[in-house]
Amino acid sequence: MTLQYCGFVAILGEPNAGKSTLVNQIVGSKVSIVTPKVQTTRRRILGIALRGDHQLILMDTPGIFTPNRQMEKAMVKTAYQSGRDADCVVLLIDVAQKKFDGCHEIIKKLGGKPLILALNKVDLIDPIRLLKISADFAQYPQITDTFMISALTGDGVDDLTSHLCKQMPQGPWHYPEDQITDLPMRLWAAEITREQLVLQLRHELPYETYVETEKWEPFDNGSVKVNQAVVVARDAQKPIILGKKGQQIKNISMKARLEMERLLGHPVHLLLFVKVTDDWMNKINIWHEAGIISEG
């Protein structure tokens, strides 16, 4: 039997750096949702990729920033915890942004843990600026390697992936070879709908909004019936989701259904409705219990 290699790679970085885009690019499928808005990823999501004898378990994490709300604090904690748990840490940096203070702060907070630096979105800036940014990070002895990539186009991603494979310890694969994420289908489907909520409503979307899959019923012919609640914190937020004459929720439901069908490859019957729950803080406790976000 040939030797197997398997390990965990934490992808850390500021919100919007492109962490989920990178995980999806390496896995080759959308396991984690992507939007132009910050704080899209709220929980740790595993993306599982195979390269020869190597199984890479990529930990997509919420973006790291200075948190205010309880939920934000839990998200940032999850990200740092993932960094501690991983065999190898990739710090992903959006090179198209103006300021890098947040990235320097993250490096300091991570202590001496060895880091692989991935300068992302190279498709957006000129090479001279890129070299200058790279030089600014050369001061850190814990940065073992630097890659220049575009998670969106895939440019440079193969080199990074090959390097990650070389860092994986020898050991049996943790997941079956056809598994690409640890998210159960219900949670994945809720994420796909949340992606459309963010994309369609952008800044109008109330922060507390989340999606709960109440029913996931697969049929013999391959189709699946999905009932989901868009949960908001107050009655006054309902009209934002519904839109005039329910047009907004209809549009979101149609787009989420099409995306699920595209990714699953079979018909989806999606029923979306709005629910008001004012015990949002208790929900965070439920998330803790489910292990979706870390303790504390």
Intra-chain end-to-end CA distance of the chain, in Å: 43
Residue 194 binds which of Mg ion, ligand GTP, none (CB < 5-8 A, kind-dependent): none
- Min dist. Cβ of residue 148 to ligand GTP (A): 10
- Min dist. Cβ of residue 18 to Mg ion (A): 8
Q: Are 209 and 241 in contact (CB under 8 A)?
A: yes
- Min dist. Cβ of residue 166 to ligand GTP (A): 23
Residue 253 binds which of Mg ion, ligand GTP, none (CB < 5-8 A, kind-dependent): none
- Min dist. Cβ of residue 195 to ligand GTP (A): 9
Q: What is the dihedral of CA 81, 82, 83, 88, to 10 degrees?
A: 150
Q: Which residues pair with 229 in a beta bridge?
A: 212, 273
Which residue, 54 or 102, is less far from Mg ion as judged by CB?
102
Which residue, 16 or 237, is less far from Mg ion as judged by CB?
16
Which residue, 14 or 189, is less far from Mg ion as judged by CB?
14
What are the backbone dihedrals phi and psi of residue 90, each rounded to the nearest 5 degrees, phi first?
-105, 125
Q: Are 120 and 150 in contact (CB under 8 A)?
A: yes
State the pairing for strand pair 115-120/88-94: parallel
Q: The sheet that has 45-51: what strands, in order across it?
A: 45-51, 54-60, 5-13, 88-94, 115-120, 143-148
Q: How many helices (H) and strands (E) does the chain have?
A: 9, 9
Which residue, 35 or 142, is less far from ligand GTP as judged by CB?
35
143: left (phi over 0), alpha (psi -120 to 50) or beta: beta
| Site residues, Mg ion (CB under 5 A) | 19-20, 40-41
Residue 142 binds which of ligand GTP, Mg ion, none (CB < 5-8 A, kind-dependent): none
Residue 265 binds which of Mg ion, ligand GTP, none (CB < 5-8 A, kind-dependent): none
- Min dist. Cβ of residue 221 to ligand GTP (A): 34
| Site residues, ligand GTP (CB under 6 A) | 13, 15-21, 34-36, 38-41, 62-63, 120-121, 123-124, 150-152
Which residue, 6 or 205, is less far from ligand GTP as judged by CB?
205
